[in-house]
Amino acid sequence: MLQNIGVPGLILVLIIALVIFGPSKLPEIGRAAGRTLSEFKSATKDLVNGNDSEEEKSKEVKS
């Protein structure tokens, strides 16, 4: 769905967001979105690394 937006659609969405939220709120919304993405990224890395370490622990217990 997001693949079909393109540059003109993105510009339109940004203009609508500017009208709805105003210029003072947009930086706050951007920061919140950035923090959310970075936390999600670190949580998924922890899950992937946690699964690897659990597999290594189970291998050590079996030997």
Average pLDDT over residues 22-31: 89
One-letter amino acid for residue 51 of the chain: N
- The better pLDDT of the pair 40, 63 is held by 40
Q: How far apart (Å, rounded) are the C-alpha atoms in residues 6 and 58?
A: 48
Q: Determine how many CB atoms are found less than 10 A away from the CB of residue 26.
A: 14
pLDDT confidence tier of residue 34, bands split at 50, 70 and 90: very high
pLDDT at position 53 over 60: no
What predicted TM-score, i.e. pTM, was given to this entire model? 0.53
Question: Higher pLDDT residue, 34 or 53?
Answer: 34
**Mean pLDDT computed over 12-35:** 90
